[in-house]
């Protein structure tokens, strides 16, 4: 772990500040004292056993600065015990990845001396976050000083204070020198090379590294399609039947790349120690509410909410709302087609250069409207999913992803399906796909790269200048660094990033056979996406807490569902080509049957491939099996050793000091 500026705790011990806790400026003193004591208390007494101290204002401090800002750290021994508590996997001396244990710490490869440098700063911050999240109320009925802020035994203190607005934010601090090295190797020099995924994982965690790994893999996987698509476009093969081979290539491509990605992600996750890591027991999300009851699993008191009520909210409110939004999207699409007809009519009456440009205006306007509708719907979907009152964060995310994917898929691709299979106008399909793809990419680059940076500069120009100094060469005092990072935007996760890749994957896999340059445009977009996302993570956003991840989660299922739709779509496009129709000049029924049969054959082949290609490479399967075998053997040896220590001949009795005889079974029972 990189060393930060030392801070003195209340007991005089020094520690490296890793995490910042900010309370509202008018927080009552008794609540602050109670929270800090709970953070410092020993774990056996229900505390987090962390080191915490109030941030002293620097030389540039003003009266407007919030005094209730605290930095949190931990002793090195506490961090090592915490690594065992959260189930971190580290490399063993034999090269395998094993769960870290404090008692066995010297048998791990990178553990030298007292273990300094064994844990990364991101891992230390994750351990502290775990300690804060598990800080639970004991016998308190409310937060001191806030009678209406109710508590009950087992309730997360941090989550309660955060949900009620007393706790403003908890965020990890950047490490300036390490961030500078990462920025230099990641995005400051434009070069044709792989991303430093291990360094990204070391600084931001496995979840972030897997996103950038998938972005890089997706870009490389598009290169063969782009190389095939360029000749199609350059030779100006306008005849639709020329793209039948390209559609066939799409069918194979979209299946194979997803299966190979699962193998690559398994290799990355194994090397990072998250593949075989057990998932932690999920606590109720902060916004979850209900009648206080007892969790049958943990035995702790927590809110309970009827699943029947939740299902009623989903099916009587959420589903009709989504259907209404889909209808509005369809209505906007029909307006777009009216605009296309109007522009085409003007061009046909008097074809000029300007009327030729006018043909692209409806598609551009429609692409902008699509992005606006997607943004508005996203906020509505988040509100609706929160109102459904899901207990777990993972369940909340799954329902949110489903809502957003359904609407975005319909909103972005409905017009293309209508043009392809109802209007059957391949020239308009090519034009619409190109315009939608290019316009959406431009808007995404503006929204994701330039707008956050511009807003940051506009919000606080002085802070921006200090931030540049902090992130570059000059080392500012800790108080200045904390103020700078507290004002930075909060990174909301990889949801929007994966959603953008999902839509780009759809554009390429569904209809790129009629516009072969689609893959080329997506490759160029992804290259700029790498640099813009890297810039945002290092310069615009607060540092997010690392999140252990073994794969890309529900997004893998989303991409696989899109690949199934791509098979059906490309088969239908092949069946509509004049080249294929010429084989069935008299019977359209036979053509439909042939296309459906071919589509079923490809889907069957696709699902067979998912079983033939193992998700985890063979050598990793062997390592995991060996580790499981060694764990079982060690457990067996401990059981045998314990059995020999306690074993006595069957039926024997032991003479007690008072002359009384008692069966050995009772003696063993008392020993246990």
Burial pattern 95-129, b for ≥16 Cβ within 10 A else e, equals eebbbbeeeebeebeebeeebeebbbbbbbbbbbb
Kindly report, residue by residue over 452-490, the tens digit of the pLDDT.
Answer: 667 666 655 655 555 454 444 456 788 888 888 888 888
Rg of the chain over Cα atoms, rounded to whole angstroms, equals: 30
397-423 average pLDDT score: 91
Q: What is the pLDDT of residue 493?
A: 87
- Alpha carbon distance 138, 136 (integer Å): 6
- pTM equals 0.85
78-104 average pLDDT score: 87
Ranking 261-275, 277-291, 313-327 by mean pLDDT, the lowest is: 277-291
621-639 average pLDDT score: 80
Reference 83, options 97, 100, 103, 98; nearest CA is 100
DSSP for 178-207?
Answer: HHHHHHIIIIIS--SS---HHHHHHHH-HH
Kindly report, residue by residue over 112-121, the tens digit of the pLDDT.
Answer: 877 778 898 9
Report the share of the chain in percent with pLDDT over 90: 28
Q: Which residue has the higher pLDDT, 207 or 469?
A: 207
Q: What is the pLDDT of residue 460?
A: 52
Q: What is the pLDDT of residue 643?
A: 65
Three-state DSSP class for residue 617: coil
Ranking 27-41, 360-374, 448-462, 642-656 by mean pLDDT, the lowest is: 642-656
Residues in Cβ contact with 251 at an 8 Å cutoff, skipping those fewer than 6 apart: 566, 567, 570, 571, 602
| Tokens found for residue 655 | 């003479």
133-137 average pLDDT score: 86
Q: What residue spans of 577-657 are helical by DSSP H?
A: 578-581, 588-612, 618-646
Kindly report, residue by residue over 619-629, the tens digit of the pLDDT.
Answer: 888 888 887 88
- Does the pLDDT of residue 640 top 70, yes or no? yes
| Tokens found for residue 437 | 């793809």
Q: What is the pLDDT of residue 660?
A: 45
Residues in Cβ contact with 267 at an 8 Å cutoff, skipping those fewer than 6 apart: 617, 620
Kindly report, residue by residue over 582-622, the tens digit of the pLDDT.
Answer: 778 777 888 888 888 888 888 888 888 888 888 888 888 88
Three-state DSSP class for residue 20: strand
With bands split at pLDDT 50, 70 and 90, how would you rate the model's confidence at 231? confident
115-144 average pLDDT score: 88
- Alpha carbon distance 276, 270 (integer Å): 7
Q: What is the pLDDT of residue 499?
A: 92
């Amino acid at each position: 772990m990189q060393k930060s500026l030392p801070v003195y705790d209340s007991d005089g011990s020094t520690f490296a500040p890793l995490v910042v806790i900010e309370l509202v400026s008018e927080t009552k003193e008794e609540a602050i004292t109670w929270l800090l004591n709970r953070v410092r208390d020993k774990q056996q007494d229900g505390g987090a056993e962390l080191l915490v101290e109030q941030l002293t204002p620097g030389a540039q401090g003003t009266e407007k600065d919030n005094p209730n800002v605290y930095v949190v750290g931990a002793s090195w021994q506490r961090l090592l015990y915490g690594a065992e508590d959260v189930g971190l996997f580290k490399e063993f001396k034999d090269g395998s990845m094993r769960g870290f244990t404090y008692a066995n710490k010297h048998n791990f490869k990178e553990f030298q001396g007292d273990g300094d440098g064994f844990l990364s700063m991101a891992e230390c911050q994750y351990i502290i976050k775990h300690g804060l999240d598990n800080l639970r109320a004991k016998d308190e009925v409310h937060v001191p000083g806030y009678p209406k802020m109710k508590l009950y035994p087992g309730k997360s203190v941090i989550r309660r204070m955060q949900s009620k607005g007393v706790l403003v934010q908890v965020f990890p601090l950047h490490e300036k020198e390490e961030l500078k090295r990462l920025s230099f190797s990641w995005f400051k020099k434009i070069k044709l090379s792989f991303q430093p995924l291990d360094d990204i994982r070391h600084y931001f965690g496995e979840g972030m590294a897997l996103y950038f790994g998938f972005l890089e893999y997706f870009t490389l996987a598009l290169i063969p399609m782009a190389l095939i698509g360029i000749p199609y476009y350059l030779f100006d093969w306008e005849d639709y039947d020329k793209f039948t081979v390209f559609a066939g290539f799409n069918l194979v491509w979209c299946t194979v790349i997803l299966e190979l990605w699962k193998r690559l992600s398994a290799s990355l996750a194994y090397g990072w120690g998250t593949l075989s890591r057990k998932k932690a027991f999920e606590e109720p999300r902060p916004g979850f509410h209900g009648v206080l009851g007892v969790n049958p699993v943990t035995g702790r008191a927590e809110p309970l909410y009827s699943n029947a009520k939740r299902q009623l909210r989903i099916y009587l409110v959420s589903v009709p709302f989504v259907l209404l939004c889909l209808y509005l999207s369809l209505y906007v699409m029909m307006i777009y087609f009216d605009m296309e007809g109007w522009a085409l009519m003007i061009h046909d009456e008097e074809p000029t250069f300007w009327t030729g440009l006018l043909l692209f205006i409806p598609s551009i306007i429609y692409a902008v409207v699509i992005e606006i509708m997607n943004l508005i719907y996203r906020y509505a979907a988040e509100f609706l999913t929160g109102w459904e009152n899901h207990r777990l964060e993972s369940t909340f995310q799954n329902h949110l992803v489903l809502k957003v994917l359904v609407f975005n898929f319909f909103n972005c691709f409905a017009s293309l399906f209508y043009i392809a299979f109802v209007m059957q106008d391949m020239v308009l399909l090519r034009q619409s796909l190109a315009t939608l793809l290019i316009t959406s990419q431009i808007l995404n680059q503006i929204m994701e790269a330039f707008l956050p940076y511009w807003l940051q500069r506009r919000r606080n120009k002085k802070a921006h200048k200090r931030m540049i100094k902090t992130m570059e060469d000059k080392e500012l005092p800790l108080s200045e660094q904390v103020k700078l990072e507290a004002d930075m935007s909060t990174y909301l996760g990889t949801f929007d990033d994966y959603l953008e890749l999902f839509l780009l994957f759809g554009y390429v896999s569904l209809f790129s056979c009629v516009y072969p340059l689609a893959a080329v445009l997506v490759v160029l977009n992804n290259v700029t996406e790498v640099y813009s996302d890297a810039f945002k993570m290092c310069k615009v956003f607060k540092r997010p807490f690392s999140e252990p991840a073994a794969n890309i989660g529900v997004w893998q299922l989303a991409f696989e569902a899109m690949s199934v739709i791509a098979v059906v779509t490309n088969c239908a496009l092949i069946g509509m080509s004049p080249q294929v129709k010429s084989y069935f000049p008299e019977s359209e029924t036979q053509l439909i049957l042939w296309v459906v049969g071919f589509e079923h054959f490809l889907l069957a082949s696709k699902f067979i491939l998912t079983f033939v290609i193992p998700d985890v490479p063979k050598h990793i399967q062997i390592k995991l099996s060996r580790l499981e075998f060694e764990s079982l053997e060690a457990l067996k040896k401990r059981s045998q050793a314990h059995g020999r220590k306690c074993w006595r001949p069957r039926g024997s009795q032991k003479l007690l000091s008072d002359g009384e005889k008692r069966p050995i079974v009772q003696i063993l029972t008392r020993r246990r």
